[in-house]
Chain A
Amino acid sequence: MTTATGYTSDEMMTVAAAHALTSEMACFVGIGLPSTAANLACRTHAPGLWMIYESGTLGTRPDTLPLSIGDGVLAETADTVVSVPEVFNYWLQPGRIDVGFLGAAQIDRYANINTTVIGDYADPKVRLPGAGGAPEIAASCREVVVIVRQNTRAFVERVDFVTSLGHGGGPGDRERLGLRGFGPTRVITDLGVLKPDPATRELTLVQLHPGVTVEDARAATGWDLAVSPELATTPEPTAEELSVLRSLTGRG
């Protein structure tokens, strides 16, 4: 849907997600929306962003957007290509990666993520692809950024399956389980940005995209959504950001 301002809600989401990344970061990139946003960041405000894909391509700078996490262009433009055990054991596990960038099929108020099943595990309503690299990305990166469209199917009171742990049931859960990364620090949607409350770790709406109301965000959330008293408005995408994004996605 293109608004009167000339960009779609998905484009707004991707640009907002790109702003979570800086030039100094090493970023473990998931395929799909995270990959689009990371590549946009690389080509705009974060040229030094060090992108890692789980196929073992470290420091890759693809000139076209890859469809899979292992497209040839990722290997051709990488600083180095390592094996799959190496990317998980030597790079992710010791905490060398600043930010993990993940998608979700379902997410709950503590930013726990489900990408495994909708319904019962043994007799699922919908079988989803599963974990991939996400559980350990969510555990071991210094922080996690989630990008997901906001609606009541995705934003649920309780996820049907915890594929990747966010903040568990609240403060202290990650520490008790021995996870070394902080966990999700922001969730970027097509409506706004949510951050965990520093005290309760509950996702709180801190930012709305232009034209979106608190009521819109509440209606798209399957729990009683907390709203920050300092609710901000996301800056609109710049013409340059939109043009780079459209050249990436082929919507130019």
Chain B
Amino acid sequence: MIVPLDEGVRELVGDGDTVALEGFTHLIPVAAGHEIIRQGRRDLTLVRMTPDIVYDQLIGAGCAARLVFSWGGNPGVGSLHRFRDAIQHGWPRPLEIEEHSHAGMANRYVAGASGLPFAVLRGYAGTDLVGQTETIKTVECPFTGEHLAAVPALNPDVTIVHAQRADRAGNVQLWGITGIQKEAVLAAQRSLVTVEEVVDELKPVAGQVILPARVVSAVAEVPGGSRPSYAHGYYARDNSAYQDWDAVSRDRERFAEWLENEVGAQAPLPGKAG
């Protein structure tokens, strides 16, 4: 149940898997993302509402074949340059995208967690997303005749989240902005949770979400595992790291250096466009 991070990733994440790393600005599982890069996973379908810098890194390192998302940016800073390079120039490999809105993605996870094939919402009407994304359809309400958007359930092979604490049995506790983590874990076939600390007893905290051990495949203790994102009650968001990422990610060579120095991973072959 409690495993080292490298073992957790090795056992739970395979090449070609659909993998969701969730955490809405808060509690982003950055260390686990870096471990996926180090282990050289390939052809992943990466799922995330808000691909931010850890997805920029996974995409730049060549781990992803597809991205399912609703907002891909560096929050408060600007664009994701590795993501842009992949879409605009196919570097280091072409990236297929499946693009939604936040409301659509949130409901896709809810359907996945609920064991339903699809979700219904008031959404997308009049937008060009309807014409670009095959997984947006319309259904007629059988009771009122109203036309509503339908989006298919998301059921990742594995969901990875970061949380504040777990107990030794693998029950997980998180609080603060809890985002979409509960739904993303319940929707997945397998789940890996990295935590700030493993404790003997989970003391109740206001606004907490508990993920019972029976829906958690493995827990890895990784203090600081969401930096430069933050862990409410442990450490603050490192806003300057997000600002600094802009310059690192703009340049392929600088990114490659960062990858070797900070993650200890092989850079993708320069210039090898898809």
Contact = CB atoms under 8 A, between A and B. Distances in A.
B196 interface: no
Contacts of B177: 55-57, 70, 72, 74-75, 81
B159 to A, nearest CB: 14
Interface in A63-94: 66-72, 74-75, 81, 83-85, 88-89, 92-93
B71 A132 contact: yes
B122 A72 contact: no
A89 B25 contact: no
A132 B237 contact: no
Contact of B24 (A55, A140, A173): A55
Contacts of A178: 122, 125, 146-147
A54 B88 CA distance: 28
A130 B79 contact: no
Interface string A108-135: 0000000010000100111111111111
B195 to A, nearest CB: 18
- Give the top 9 A-B pairs by smallest Cβ distance, nearest first: A70-B25, A129-B73, A68-B75, A165-B126, A67-B76, A132-B71, A88-B103, A136-B103, A177-B125
Contacts of B236: 72
Interface residues of B, number: 54
26 contacts: A31-B75, A55-B26, A55-B179, A66-B76, A67-B76, A67-B239, A68-B75, A72-B232, A75-B176, A81-B207, A84-B24, A84-B49, A85-B106, A85-B180, A92-B103, A129-B79, A129-B80, A130-B69, A131-B70, A133-B102, A133-B103, A163-B129, A168-B126, A177-B125, A177-B126, A178-B122
B103 A135 contact: yes
A interface residue count range (under 10 / 10 to 19 / 20 to 34 / 35 or more)? 35 or more
A83 B107 CA distance: 12
A75 B230 CA distance: 12
A136 B103 CA distance: 7
A46 B85 CA distance: 43
Interface of A: 31-32, 54-57, 66-72, 74-75, 81, 83-85, 88-89, 92-93, 116, 121, 124-136, 139-140, 161-165, 168, 173-174, 177-180
A148 to B, nearest CB: 16
Nearest to A114: B128
Nearest to A113: B127
- Chain A at the B interface: SS class: loop
Given A116-B128, A130-B70, A131-B71, A83 B103 contact: no
Interface of B: 24-26, 49-50, 69-73, 75-77, 79-80, 83-84, 87-88, 99-103, 106-107, 109-110, 121-129, 132, 146-147, 176-180, 182-183, 207, 230, 232, 236-237, 239, 242
B85 to A, nearest CB: 9
Given A163-B127, A165-B125, 15 more contacts: A32-B76, A56-B179, A57-B177, A68-B76, A71-B237, A74-B177, A84-B49, A93-B103, A121-B128, A124-B88, A127-B79, A127-B84, A131-B129, A132-B71, A165-B127
A68 B207 contact: no
Contacts of A116: 99, 128-129
A54 B101 CA distance: 12
Given A67-B242, A81-B207, A75 B129 contact: no
A136 to B, nearest CB: 4
A92 B182 CA distance: 20
A116 B70 CA distance: 10
Nearest to A95: B122
A55 to B, nearest CB: 5
Contacts of A71: 25, 237
Nearest to B73: A129
A123 B166 CA distance: 45
B122 A140 contact: yes
Contact of B109 (A31, A85, A124, A140): A85
Contact of B122 (A56, A67, A93, A174): A93
Nearest to B183: A85
B83 A127 contact: yes
Given A71-B237, A72-B230, A84-B180, A131 B126 contact: no
Contacts of A174: 126
A24 B268 CA distance: 54
B68 to A, nearest CB: 12
A89 B121 CA distance: 8
A72 B237 contact: yes
Contacts of B26: 55, 70, 72, 75
